[in-house]
Amino acid sequence: MQTHEIVRRFTAHFEKHGHTSVPSASLILEDPQLLFVNAGMVQFKPYFLGEVPPPYPRATSIQKCVRTPDIDEVGKTTRHATFFQMAGNFSFGDYFKRGAIEFAWTLITNSQGDGGYGFDPERIWVTVFNDDDEAIGLWREIAGLPEERIQRRGGDDNYWDMGVPGPGGPCSEIYYDRGPEFGAEGGPEADEDRYLEIWNLVFMQDERGELSPKKGHPPIGTLPHKNIDTGMGVERVAFLLQGVDNVYETDLVRPVIAKAEELSGRTYGRNTEDDVRFRVIADHARSSVMIVGDGVTPGNEGRGYVLRRLLRRIVRSARLLGVTGPCLGEFATVVRDAMSATYPELAADFERISAVIRAEEETFRATLTAGEKIFDTAVDEAKRSGRSTLPGDQAFALHDTYGFPIDLTLEMAEEAGLVVDRERFTALMDEQRTRAKADAAERKVGFVDVSVYRAVLDTHGVTDFLGYQTLTSESRVVGLLRDGQTVPAAEEGERVEVLLDRTPFYAEAGGQQADTGVLRGASFEVRVDDVQSPVAGLRVHRGVVTAGTVTLDAEIVTEVDRARRAAVSRAHTATHLVHAGVRGALGSAAAQAGSLNAPGRLRFDFTSPTGAVPAAALVEIEEEVNSVLQEDREIQTYETSLDSARKLGAMMLFGEKYGDSVRVVDMGDYSRELCGGTHVGRTGELGLVRVLSEASIGSGVRRVEALVGLDAFKHATTEHLLVNQLADQLKARPEELPDRIGSLVERLRTAERDLEKHRADAVLASGASLADAAEDLDGTALVAVTAPDGVTGNDLRTLAADVRGKLGDRPGVVALFAVEDGKVSFVVATTKAARDNGIAAGKLIPEFAAAVGGRGGGKPDLAQGGGTDPAGIDAAIQKLRSALRP
């Protein structure tokens, strides 16, 4: 049975039993505790916690998931994977244990002709949480399972939570016995390779805190309702039903391995080490395509770093298989073809996905080239020193600083006849991990206790948002918080959070800054500095009581700062226009990656795998946007279904989660986007848009900054004034300024070159006198002095080579020192006759460098270094003399 059919049957089974089919959420959700969605229940978390009323009592989904804690184990086993699909069914206070067990048992054991998966009931085992007698009774009643195929297990195995504070509960796991050829008898307790887990039924009833009940810690509370959360591993079911040995050989994964076989000329299944590399490529290629598809770009932090690591592990593995040319784009194409039947957005957005992936590969291939040069230098140094080991410090520096994979370092060291000090390398890696964990713990956004907000939501319902229609309203205070605690009143001077039954204030979201303004009562006033939505459906007004005492249930009048709202709305509308202009100029690969809409200014981030946007393209984008302003187009906003919005061609942002009903901001055929922000009524209201700059903010991500309205006009006026001042200073017309300034710059550069030449000639002029003053050390001419004033460290090599040349055919050594900014630079040069006598510059430096608190090295003819103690130069020269005397 093909994987897409497994998915179809799962969805059909639960739809038939009253479940609403919900599309997979993006891998990127607004949860500070998760890098990626790692379970099917994540998008339903607000329903389980009671933060938002569920729109349906039952749901089913096929959720794409990424888990990376065991990334280093991928490929080494056939059970670890970073990307997988989790099929799940969910109940929000509807059915509980009995329903979950009945639905699962029916689907897995019904014949394939009846729409099930056709698993043999006699090969099914289950596990339950230690004391869950109810679940045991239901398995025996519903499935007829004998007691010996039901095993009790502890919290590590049969209690489920997300690994962070949130919902959880005891669970019951379903296993399939693959047969005696795969391991020992005795059920999951004895061997989880033979007895493979395929489905986990979580009886979600608890809310966990920082410490997990998996480890015996009590929950911090119970959920508002008993819920069901299940997760069936689609890939695991696929390999069982397809009769292959593991998930890597299923219909959606094996094609990637086949492509790797084609590119490498090697065959999967013949070599254990090669098989690990094939599996890494197959798993990581799927993960990477899905992650990039949801809007992540490679970077050095967070999700971007995980993505970068996945992509680079693919390149590394392919290289170790013998693939020397670019390959990521070809693997991505295979993933697209395999997965787009379930995720059609991969095909629609493949131009962007492919561009991001190919750009990262190009960057990493350059990194590998640079790393190889550093590696060669390290090998040369080890061999010159007579060592057979490459220091762990150097291997770590290659890995940490240059991104050079340790596997390649090990392989190349072996080819060079060296071994790597793995113990030291591992110790340094452990230190880095410890620092990273400590940093993560310090930065971690802890579990936010939103129970006080939920209490308001449960009592008064969602905040009615009026801000699209009006900027004032008559409202009632339904919640009052100070320092996170509910209070009956707040007095003048106190910071407070005010929750209202309805409000025109826009809460910060989608890149748009929050409204500010005033809440006025009969005898009090609150200045609103910020508005947030910590719980979906609520708007929390944060500010200071500036007069009187505000109390619960007080009647108030809200007043949004009109000027600020108008300025922010102009910026938001301008962002949509700039977005459209950028995509028009650069193509669909230029997708929005972030934005900021502030009064009078905007910041727009977008993916640009091809690098910097040409200046001419920026000018065209600015002109095009302002032409739309001049047309004074009407801006329409309306709500429609998600499907209708797609058919209209509305732009949808990667990583955003949309409901069935969406809000469209429509500017005709130029820009049409899904957006919940505020906007002006006509494009002409923007007045003017000025693009200020374009720059990189990370690998493959660019940022455009622009001004809007009066701010843009003021900037243009300032520029005009500056141009006029320059024209007056240079006695030129404005249009002549580029040529005139260019001419001045070139003249300045010529003058600097002339000065440098004169200085170099002056330095070299001292060469002859230094050579003439050489002292004789038993037949070897030695010039060892502090260089004349004006000679810097950069000049030493030139002067030393010149002095050496003037020593002629004599055996000679030139050692020159220079002091600059309290530090010492030195260069040693030897003549050919000296080298013939066994004198090497690189070997002389260790004889004296310590005297100046330094070190250095180089080749037999020329070596250099530096130190920190200028007072030791005389001692260094004396040590050099001693080294040259036989």
Say if residue 441's pLDDT is above 60.
no
44 vs 536: CA distance, rounded Å: 12
Where does 1-142 show beta strands of DSSP type E? 20-21, 58-66, 83-92, 124-129
CA dihedral in degrees (412, 414, 417, 422; nearest 10)? 100
20-60 pLDDT, tens per residue? 999 999 998 866 668 899 889 988 988 887 777 889 999 99
The answer to whether 17 is annotated as binding is no
110-145 pLDDT, tens per residue? 999 999 999 999 999 999 999 899 999 999 999 999
**Strand 485-486 and strand 472-482: pairing?**
antiparallel
CA distances from 619 to 593, 742, 798 (A): 21, 21, 47
Q: For residue 175, give the DSSP letter.
A: E
290 vs 26: CA distance, rounded Å: 9
Q: For residue 779, give the DSSP letter.
A: T
Torsions phi, psi of 583, nearest 5?
-65, -35
* pLDDT confidence of residue 57: 94
476-499 pLDDT, tens per residue? 999 999 988 889 999 999 999 999
Say if residue 322's pLDDT is above 50.
yes
Q: Is 470 helix (H, G, I), strand (E, B) or coil?
A: coil
60-91 pLDDT, tens per residue? 999 999 988 777 778 787 767 899 999 999 99
Torsions phi, psi of 242, nearest 5?
-95, -5
Share of the chain above pLDDT 90, in %: 55
**Burial class for 52, CB neighbours closer than 10 Å (0-12, 13-18, 19+):** middle
Q: Of the given ranges (427-431, 493-497, 639-643), which has the lowest mean pLDDT?
A: 427-431
pTM: 0.63
Nearest alpha-carbon partner for 303 in 287, 281, 324: 287
Stronger pLDDT, 640 or 48, i.e. the higher one: 640
Q: Which residue has the tokens 């930065």?
A: 443
35 vs 306: CA distance, rounded Å: 9
For residues 177-204, give the mean pLDDT. 93
pLDDT tier at 699, thresholds 50, 70, 90: low
Q: Which residue has the tokens 């009090």?
A: 524
Cβ distance 119 to 1 under 8 Å? no
281 vs 254: CA distance, rounded Å: 11
74 vs 680: CA distance, rounded Å: 51
For residues 679-699, give the mean pLDDT. 90
Q: Kindly give, in sequence order, each residue whose CB lies less than 8 Å from that of residue 656, ignoring residues fewer than 6 positions away.
A: 26, 674
Say if residue 709's pLDDT is above 70.
yes
Q: Of the given ranges (102-111, 492-501, 504-513, 781-790), which has the lowest mean pLDDT?
A: 781-790
* pLDDT confidence of residue 796: 84
Residue 751: other Cβ atoms inside 10 A: 10
Say if residue 440's pLDDT is above 50.
no
The answer to whether 675 is annotated as binding is yes
Torsions phi, psi of 496, nearest 5?
-150, 155
307 vs 845: CA distance, rounded Å: 45
453-474 pLDDT, tens per residue? 878 888 888 999 999 999 999 9
Q: Which amino acid is at 572?
A: H
* pLDDT confidence of residue 414: 79
Quote the tokens at residue 242: 């397809």
* pLDDT confidence of residue 646: 84
Residue 495: other Cβ atoms inside 10 A: 13
Say if residue 361's pLDDT is above 80.
yes
Stronger pLDDT, 223 or 264, i.e. the higher one: 264
> SS3 string of 369-410?
HHHHHHHHHHHHHHHHCCCCEECHHHHHHHHHCCCCCHHHHH
For residues 503-519, give the mean pLDDT. 95
129 vs 154: CA distance, rounded Å: 6
CATH of domain 451-560: 2.40.30.130
Share of the chain above pLDDT 70, in %: 94
pLDDT tier at 657, thresholds 50, 70, 90: low
Say if residue 570's pLDDT is above 70.
yes
156 vs 250: CA distance, rounded Å: 29
Quote the tokens at residue 760: 């170099």
Share in percent of the chain as helix, strand, coil (round to 5): 45, 25, 30
pLDDT tier at 732, thresholds 50, 70, 90: confident
Stronger pLDDT, 510 or 283, i.e. the higher one: 283
Say if residue 698's pLDDT is above 80.
no
720 vs 708: CA distance, rounded Å: 17
144-180 pLDDT, tens per residue? 999 999 999 998 899 988 777 888 899 999 999 999 9
234 vs 237: CA distance, rounded Å: 5
Residue 531: other Cβ atoms inside 10 A: 24
The answer to whether 679 is annotated as binding is yes
pLDDT tier at 443, thresholds 50, 70, 90: very low
Q: For residue 506, give the DSSP letter.
A: P
* pLDDT confidence of residue 442: 43
The answer to whether 171 is annotated as binding is no
706 vs 618: CA distance, rounded Å: 11
Quote the tokens at residue 431: 């230190």
Q: What's the CATH fold of domain 3-245?
A: BirA Bifunctional Protein; domain 2 (3.30.930)
* pLDDT confidence of residue 763: 61
- Helix ranges, 587-677 (H): 615-631, 642-647
pLDDT tier at 248, thresholds 50, 70, 90: very high
105 vs 266: CA distance, rounded Å: 42
For residues 722-738, give the mean pLDDT. 87
472 vs 88: CA distance, rounded Å: 45
Sign of the Cα torsion 665, 667, 673, 678 reads negative
Say if residue 573's pLDDT is above 90.
yes
Q: Which amino acid is at 626?
A: N
**Helix 350-384 and helix 302-320: axis angle, to 10°?**
70
Second CATH level (architecture) for the domain 766-884: Roll (3.10)
Torsions phi, psi of 719, nearest 5?
-60, -40
24 vs 10: CA distance, rounded Å: 14
Of 348-352, 543-547, 648-652, give the range with the top mean pLDDT: 543-547
* pLDDT confidence of residue 31: 67
Q: Which residue has the tokens 């390999």?
A: 239
Q: Can you list the pairs that 102-111 forms with residues at least 24 positions away whose Cβ atoms lie under 8 Å?
A: 102/142, 103/13, 103/14, 103/17, 104/174, 104/199, 104/201, 104/230, 104/232, 105/142, 105/143, 106/13, 107/9, 107/10, 107/13, 108/174, 108/198, 108/199, 109/143
**Burial class for 834, CB neighbours closer than 10 Å (0-12, 13-18, 19+):** buried
- Helix ranges, 110-205 (H): 133-138, 155-158
Of 71-85, 309-323, 747-761, give the range with the top mean pLDDT: 309-323
Q: Is 686 helix (H, G, I), strand (E, B) or coil?
A: helix
Rg (CA), the chain: 35
* pLDDT confidence of residue 445: 35
C-alpha 884 chain-centroid distance: 57
Mean pLDDT over each residue of the chain, to the nearest integer: 88
Q: What's the CATH fold of domain 565-718?
A: Threonyl-tRNA Synthetase; Chain A, domain 2 (3.30.980)
Stronger pLDDT, 654 or 696, i.e. the higher one: 696
